[in-house]
A and B are shown apart, each in its own frame.
Chain A
Amino acid sequence: MLNDIMLGQYLDRDSIVHSLDPRIKILLVILFIIVLFISKTLLGYAVLGGFIIISTLIAKIEFKYILKSLKPLLFIISLTLIIHLFLTKGGEVIWEWKFLSIEEKGLNLGLFMAARLIFLITFTSLLTLTTSPLELTDGLEKLLNPFKRFGVPAHELAMMMTIALRFIPTLLEESEKILKAQKARGADFESGNLIQKAKSLIPLLVPLFVSAFRRADDLALAMEARCYRGGEGRTRMNELHLSRADYLIGGATAIFLIFVAILI
């Protein structure tokens, strides 16, 4: 379970999409989202759908993973579809039964909204499926760098991300330990009404918070003892480099997406 969490959704494959620079991938996803909200025609959506399928094939990601990413939002997608089907009125009546009826406008709008959500989810999850959390953090830091002069703490954010990622498994293990320790002392987390259950959380959460604060003290001391002094003049083990392939693929895809937004 811990491993699952740490790698996130990342799937290790040998593909062009995987080796693309994370910065390019993030920018392309942002562009895709904008195009998705601009595009209003059936043809435009068909092209975007095809684009997602082709990208998935090139990335060598099996479609079952893409479908899996849809699962948590399936409820909200079907709800959107149903609400529009029955409650948006206008145009020809397509189907009628007693007080229920589906009209043309509702059908169109419902399918359109559902498609938009599905595209949004599948394409953005393609990013996290093909890029590891640490790569994405590096990419975000580099992308935020120009905003430093406006007060965006790019290096600090990336550093804190790395620390947070590093400590999620540790704190999760800690919370499981505390849970077991309190159970051994007779704490009851399962029975009782709402208030009692909320109360039973206190003996779990107080030690968890206290231990988090202690760890923060220790780590701060350790980092300062090793002369950590922020991002100024820091060198890295692995530098991100934009290669010619990055520019070519990124540029071509961006032109394609802008073309879809403007012309179709």
Chain B
Amino acid sequence: MNLTTKEMIVTSLFAALTAIGALLTIPIGPVPVTLQVLFTLTAGALLGARLGLLSQILYLFIGAVGLPVYAGGGAGLAHLVGPTGGFLFSFPIAAYIVGRIVEEREDITLLGVLGPMVLGLILIYILGVVGLNIATDMGLKKAIAVGVLPFVIPDLIKALAGAYLTLRIKRIY
């Protein structure tokens, strides 16, 4: 893997941004919603598959070495191997998939970015539920009720914001 200095730095700044996204909580609804998923999906769309993937792996590393950058101020390896691990590990893959699809399109439209982002969200949910189920053995139905249903609507809105953001930034850069 050959990275230019510029690519390395952009990737690490996106990892830092994702970490900050998890720290910024927005009081929407009963569950405090972080912007972390928005940054994950946008990283894929803006940086492309390869760098998007790398930036999210870096984000996981930052949390693993003890900085409180997982959703809700969590930190440490425990989150990666614990019940929330499935969600966390799905972020790099989701960023990769979003990047892959967006890269292949020549002109970027709002729907052309939103579609892959929703796909990325679905992937996050699937891996997250599987991880939750492995760690706690609570059964798929309950895992979905706990880990997916409360977040669907805020996440869709975040995906929409992320898609719009991607268009705006791509126009500037």
A interface residues, Cβ below 8 angstroms from B: 4-6, 8-10, 29, 33, 69, 72-73, 76, 79-80, 83-84, 87, 109, 113, 117, 120-122, 124-125, 127-129, 131-133, 136-137, 140, 151, 153, 156-157, 159-161, 163-165, 167-168, 171-172, 175, 189-190, 194-195, 197-199, 201-202, 205-206, 208-210, 212-213, 215-217, 219-220, 223-224, 228
Contact = CB atoms under 8 A, between A and B. Distances in A.
Contacts of A136: 64-66
A175 B24 contact: yes
Interface string B1-36: 101111011111111110110011011110000010
A8, A199, A205, most chain B CB atoms within 10 A: A205
B16 A171 contact: yes
B65 A209 contact: no
Given A109-B137, A216-B9, A198 B158 contact: yes
B28 A10 contact: no
Contact of A168 (B20, B66, B76, B142): B20
B144 interface: no
- By size class, the interface of chain B is 35 or more
Contacts of B28: 194, 197-198
A9, A10, A216, most chain B CB atoms within 10 A: A216
A210 B13 contact: no
A264 B158 CA distance: 49
A140 B16 CA distance: 18
Contact of A228 (B5, B10, B57, B165): B5
Given A113-B136, A157-B58, A160-B12, A198 B67 contact: no
A5 B67 contact: yes
B116 to A, nearest CB: 18
A25 to B, nearest CB: 11
Interface of chain B, helix or strand or loop or mixed? helix
B134 to A, nearest CB: 10
11 contacts: A8-B68, A87-B139, A117-B82, A128-B77, A153-B1, A160-B11, A161-B58, A165-B62, A201-B161, A210-B172, A213-B169
Given A128-B77, A209-B169, A223-B5, A216 B16 contact: no
B168 A206 contact: yes
Interface of B: 1, 3-6, 8-17, 19-20, 23-24, 26-29, 35, 38, 42, 46, 54, 57-59, 61-62, 64-69, 72-79, 81-84, 135-139, 142, 146, 153-154, 157-158, 160-161, 164-165, 168-169, 172-173
A186 to B, nearest CB: 19
Contacts of B173: 210, 213
Contacts of B172: 210
B5 A224 contact: yes
A181 to B, nearest CB: 16
A128 B161 contact: no
Nearest to B18: A164
Given A113-B136, A175-B20, A202-B165, A161 B10 contact: no
B83 A117 contact: yes
B154 A171 contact: no
Nearest to A112: B137
